[in-house]
Structure 1
Amino acid sequence: MTLWKFYKDEISKGLGLEYIELREKFESLIVVFYKKELLEWYLSKPSSQAFLGGLGYEGHMTLEEKLQLLRERFSCSCPDEVGIFLGYPIEDIQGFIKNEGKNSLMCRYWKVYANPDRAQELFETYDKAKASIARSIISNTTLSAPDINYRPN
């Protein structure tokens, strides 16, 4: 945590990503990295807007306002809508809510309730991004963001 607090802006800049600290608790911190334009695109999808609109995220809100609302909701628990901000398929988020977290088809980064082939493709994309960033940090080389421009249908 001490290293993160000292180097967070340098890490973010080196990765070419923005970040938000969602919750700090005891000796842990939840941080989400994102590409602003990609997250704005994903949140602007009609399905994302409809889902978030039902939870109080107004259509006129800026990305920063939506992220602040997410942070506020994170102070009590992990809100279901975090999946939208992480790029999870809406069908899986809705399936998680409907099934109360049970009866998933598979589970890795999230519980999958629909289209496991697409989910597996996303899992592999996440794995590659995570490995690339870890290698850059461990080798102390210039950080470069992996290709995370994947846009699911």
Structure 2
Amino acid sequence: MLTWWRHQPLEVKIAGQCAPVLAGVKPSNMLVLENKHIRDVVRTLEGTGLSRRCLYAGNEKNIWLLYRKAALEEIVFRKEEREFLEQQGYADDCLEQMLVRLGQRFREYRKTQDIPFPHEMGVFLGYPMADVKGFIKYGGKNYLYSGYWKVYENVEERKQLFESYEQVRSVFVQEAEKGKNLWEITSEWQCMTA
């Protein structure tokens, strides 16, 4: 499976990792790509409505956050999420500055691993606060279910959400494998679901 994935076109790799955000059913996704794709990411995402931020540039791979700006702002500025992020040192009122801080914290973690993983990343990925806080409280253990993230409450609701993510992923990957570019797939999806 990993060998298959490595040799796929960039559109298939992005669709496989980020279909829920491409489809607009999730505010953001992480994208891990080989360094050779740095310049192609911008071109490949044109017309999709997604913003991007490289959180980490390693020797072999880069880790990106792909996001829909309005959807992510809605999440990070909700009362509970905002209070949590302020406790983690995110005092800015600007999403871009918050993402700069997230990138700094993530790079520090990756570089030394002397600091704890920035678990606030879950907020930026659109995870429910109960699951972010549960993961922190229990150190990633004692979860009730594991899918796109570890679930600490509302298991049936999360299972349905994960299933919808998988359905979207399947459609986007199939269409990308047919040679369609991401903006075409995203546009067709929006027309189908409007």
TM-score after normalising by structure 1: 0.85
Q: Does 1:113 align with 2:152?
A: yes
Match of 1:63 in 2: 95
> RMSD between aligned alpha carbons?
2.3
Match of 2:63 in 1: 30
Match of 1:20 in 2: 53
Q: In structure 1, what residue type is equivalent to 2:97?
A: E
How far apart are the structure 2 equivalents of 1:147 and 1:35? 18
Q: Does 1:93 align with 2:132?
A: yes
Match 1:139 to one of 178, 181, 187 = 178
CA drift of 1:40 comes to 0.6
Q: Conserved in 2, the CA contact under 8 Å of 1:18 and 1:34? A: yes
Secondary structure in structure 2 of the residue aligned to 1:14: coil
Structure 1, unpaired ranges of 5+: none
Deviations 1:93-123 (A, max 9, x none): 1001110111110111111111112211221
Secondary structure in structure 2 of the residue aligned to 1:145: helix
Q: Conserved in 2, the CA contact under 8 Å of 1:109 and 1:123? A: yes
Q: In structure 2, what residue type is equivalent to 1:83?
A: G
Q: Conserved in 2, the CA contact under 8 Å of 1:129 and 1:146? A: no
The share of aligned pairs that are identical, in percent, is: 32
Q: Which of structures 1 and 2 has the bigger CA Rg?
A: 2
Change (3 A) 1:65 1:74: same
TM-score after normalising by structure 2: 0.68
CA drift of 1:38 comes to 0.5
How far apart are the structure 1 equivalents of 2:187 and 2:149? 21
Q: Does 1:130 align with 2:169?
A: yes
Secondary structure in structure 2 of the residue aligned to 1:30: strand
Q: Conserved in 2, the CA contact under 8 Å of 1:132 and 1:146? A: no
Match 1:42 to one of 65, 75, 86 = 75
Greater helix percent: which structure?
Answer: 2
Structure scoring higher RCO (CA < 8 A, sep ≥ 6) equals: 2
Secondary structure in structure 2 of the residue aligned to 1:15: coil
Match of 1:11 in 2: 44
Change (3 A) 1:148 1:92: farther
CA drift of 1:3 comes to 4.9
CA drift of 1:89 comes to 0.6
Secondary structure in structure 2 of the residue aligned to 1:76: helix
Deviations 1:21-77 (A, max 9, x none): 11122322211211111001111111110110111111x421100111000010133
Match 2:85 to one of 25, 34, 52 = 52
CA drift of 1:147 comes to 9.9
- After TM superposition, what 4+ stretches of structure 1 lie above 6 angstroms from structure 2? 146-149
CA drift of 1:127 comes to 2.0
